[in-house]
Amino acid sequence: MDPVFRWIESSALSVWTRESTSLLAYPAILSAHAIGMALAAGVNAAIALRLLGAAPGIPEAEMRRYAGVVWIGFAVNAVSGMLLLIAYPTKAMTNPIFYVKLSLVAVGLAVFVAVNKRLGQWTSAARPWIGIALLVSWGGAIVAGRLLAYTYRRLMAG
Partner 1 sequence: MVNFQMWLVTVFASVKPIGRLMHTAWGWPVAESLHFIGLSLLIGTVGLFDLRLLGLGRRIPIAALHRLIPWGLAGFGINAVSGIAFLLTEPDQYVYNPSFHLKVLFIAAAGSNALTFYLTTYRKVAADGAPADAPPAAKAMAAASLSLWVGVIIAGRLLTFYRPFPCQPPEPGFLATCIPGFHANWK
Residues that bind partner 1 (CB under 8 A): 23, 26-27, 30-31, 34-35, 37-39, 41-46, 49-50, 54-59, 62-63, 65-66, 69, 138-139, 142-143, 145-147, 149-150
- Name the minimum Å distance from CB 35 to partner 1: 6
C-beta closer to partner 1: residue 37 or 105: 37
- Name the minimum Å distance from CB 45 to partner 1: 4
Q: What gap in Å lies between CA 113 and CA 65, rounded to an integer? A: 13
C-beta closer to partner 1: residue 1 or 55: 55
Residue type, 35: I
- Name the minimum Å distance from CB 121 to partner 1: 17
C-beta closer to partner 1: residue 6 or 29: 29
b vs e for 23-38, b when ≥16 Cβ sit within 10 Å of the residue's Cβ? eebbeebeebbeebbe
- Name the minimum Å distance from CB 115 to partner 1: 15
Is the CB of residue 81 less than 8 Å from the CB of residue 152? no
- Name the minimum Å distance from CB 2 to partner 1: 27
Q: Could you tell me which residues come within 8 angstroms of residue 101 by beta carbon, excluding any fewer than 6 positions away? A: 141, 144, 145, 148
Handedness of CA 106, 109, 110, 111 (dihedral sign): positive
Q: What Rg, from alpha-carbon coordinates, does the chain have?
A: 18
C-beta closer to partner 1: residue 12 or 65: 65
C-beta closer to partner 1: residue 1 or 117: 117
